[in-house]
Chains A and B, each alone.
Chain A
Amino acid sequence: MQLKLTVNGVTRSDEVEPRLLLVHYLREVCGLRAANVGCDTTSCGACTVLLNGESVKSCTVLAVQAGGQAVTTAEGLVSATGEMHPVQRAFREQHGLQCGFCTPGMVMATTSLLAENPHPTEQEVREGLEGNFCRCTGYHNIVRAVLAAAEAAGTEAEEVSA
């Protein structure tokens, strides 16, 4: 069936089967392979993208459910001039990634988390990321990355209003 939606700001129209998972649509049809499939029980969050600005696990969304809506992936956070999004930058600066498999999902979950809660405590960060598994980092630097991104955004907001 016909699917029309916006991916990273680009309108697309594709012919898909109803059972095509959004994560596979993004990876195989759109060629956006940052989102990964890490499990089969909606547990690990490696597939997390934004749907209308909110984090969702794209392995548990049918592509057709996203029709007429806007999807953002990690690739879409990069600016037009090729600069990393502040959240991506914070992950790098805090060494919040090692093998990188969970990372795009973590970044998207973080972006959504900070949009809803711009000044989270450490506990709120950990709870906010309970749907994103990481095997490499022990979460320590991921939490630091989120807090650093929050602080940077706060400082930036201050600078803008100052």
Chain B
Amino acid sequence: MIPAPFEYETAESAAHALSLLATHGEDAKLLAGGHSLLPMMKLRLAMPTVLIDIARVSELSGIRAEGAELVIGATTRHADIASSDLVTSEVPLLAYAASQVGDPQIRHRGTIGGSLAHADPAADLPMTLVALGGSIEITGPSGTRTVPAGEFFTGFFESVLEPGELLSAVRVPRGGTVPWGYQKFVRRANDWAIVGVAAYDGRVALASMGSTPIRARGVEDALRSGASPEQAASHAAEGTSAGSDFHADKEYREHLARVLTRRALEGRVG
């Protein structure tokens, strides 16, 4: 119910955050909204000994247009992404996905950087970034690198982020008229997706069908060959490794993947 003890530092800048990470090593974690990290710490599934608060580092927040992309600072909150006129008009899929994370209170705290760094394959934003073909900026001691979203996630709660690195920004393509769809299947409003689908411009990404968001390549190939949404969606489960739990077994998840992919390809949200 409450975390194990830890020390708390406040970073004044991204560089300061990096130096604190370097000083404290692998037992230190960055804290922005804390709505992926603190729940784990309260259950003692994570026990960092140092938390480095980056919520007040202004260079890490904000939404701006940069050519064909929007650049979103890592500590930008879901609520601000969802209500941003810029995101709503230029990347409506992202605005919608951000509006679906958790509940209003969670969206007032949780951040895009925190959510992506947490790398939960059941979450809204990882699959959305993969469908968008976005990329993730990582700042480390040796500078900044940009990783395509599809390469960022490497396993359950695992990403290419090295200890000592900081997810600093997210880049997404602008395209207010690009067709998109979003499906998040839950038993109850506040839940993580039993199966999720984000579709954008012929790309389809699935949540909860593997240890990372999964690109539905079979669907995409079919679409490129001119298949209808229904025909293309029939390939949705290919290349996935869905788990089974009491909410949904593998067979049911694969079925849902097909149904929800078709709906997402039809441009529906739900």
Q: State the A residues within 8 Å of B (CB).
A: 1, 17-19, 21, 24, 37, 40-43, 45, 48, 51, 54-57, 59-62, 64-65, 109, 112-113, 116, 127-128, 130-132
Contacts and interface: CB of A to CB of B under 8 A. Distances in A.
List 9 tightest A-B contacts by C-beta distance, closest first. A131-B103, A18-B8, A130-B189, A54-B108, A40-B1, A57-B105, A55-B105, A19-B3, A130-B103
A42 B106 contact: yes
Contact of B55 (A18, A59, A65, A116): A65
Contact of A56 (B2, B7, B105): B105
A62 B108 CA distance: 15
Interface in B1-55: 1-8, 31, 34-35, 38-39, 42-43, 51, 53, 55
Nearest to B83: A116
B8 A109 contact: no
Looking at A128, A130, A132, which has the most chain B CB atoms within 10 Å of its CB? A130
A65 to B, nearest CB: 7
Nearest to B39: A42
Nearest to B41: A19
Nearest to A55: B105
B104 interface: yes
A18 B7 contact: yes
B225 interface: no
Contacts of B189: 127, 130
Contacts of B43: 40-41
Contacts of B5: 17-19
B190 interface: yes
Contacts of A17: 5
B34 A62 contact: yes
Given A56-B109, A112-B104, A130-B103, A42 B35 contact: yes
A17 B7 CA distance: 9
B103 A62 contact: no
B270 to A, nearest CB: 13
Chain B interface extent, by class: 20 to 34
Interface of B: 1-8, 31, 34-35, 38-39, 42-43, 51, 53, 55, 79, 83, 102-106, 108-109, 189-190
Nearest to A52: B108
A113 B105 CA distance: 10
> Interface residues of A: mostly helix, strand, loop or mixed?
mixed
Given A18-B51, A62-B8, A64-B8, A131 B39 contact: no
Contacts of A51: 108
A41 B79 CA distance: 20
Contacts of A127: 189
B104 A109 contact: yes
B190 A131 contact: yes
Contact of B34 (A60, A109, A116): A60
Nearest to B37: A60
A24 B109 CA distance: 18
A60 to B, nearest CB: 5
Contacts of A64: 8, 53
A109 B106 CA distance: 11
Contacts of A19: 2-6
B6 A131 contact: no
Contacts of A24: 2
Contacts of A65: 31, 34, 53, 55
A107 B102 CA distance: 19
Nearest to B51: A18
Looking at B35, B42, B104, which has the most chain A CB atoms within 10 Å of its CB? B104
A40 B40 CA distance: 10
Given A40-B1, A40-B43, A131 B34 contact: no
